Amino acid sequence: MTDKNLQILIVDDNEMASDLLSEFVELLGHQSKAAANGGDAIAACDTLRPDVVITDIVLPDLDGYELAMRLRAKFGKEIRIIALSGLPRNNDRAEASNFDAWLEKPLDLSVLERMLGNPGETTT
């Protein structure tokens, strides 16, 4: 685990999933906030300025690829973006390069814990 207390934004329209993930990252000593869609996530980033955004790919308003693209355009590498999806990564989409890492559901919590403790670690 990192010594830094990270601000983490979790973007998932499944409230139970985002609540459970929020509890986990808070047990690791980080702060979390949840957003149920891409629009709310972008607005939250304006005020929260999270260190990490963990986003599902299938969202009700725009997909995680579009969200990552918009966040990169707005914040550059200031925010670390991790995809968390039941879908496999689609490297044929140009927007895939906007993710720092891709985790598949069901999530191995130990992998996420390592990633949050080691900002340079990526998983595809």
The tens digit of pLDDT for each residue in 45-79 reads 999 999 999 999 999 999 999 999 999 999 999 99
CA distance 66 to 22: 23
pLDDT at 88: 86
Integer-rounded Cα radius of gyration of the chain: 13
Q: At residue 102, what is the residue type?
A: W
Spell out the domain ranges in the chain: 7-117
CATH of domain 7-117: 3.40.50.2300
How does pLDDT run across 4-31, given as a tens digit for each residue? 899 999 999 999 999 999 999 999 999 9
**Distances 85 to 17, 75, 76, 103, 115 between C-alpha atoms, Å:** 11, 23, 22, 7, 16
pTM, rounded to two decimals: 0.91
Residue 80 DSSP class: E
> Could you read off the pLDDT of 75-119 as tens digits, one per residue?
999 999 999 999 888 888 888 999 999 999 999 999 999 999 876
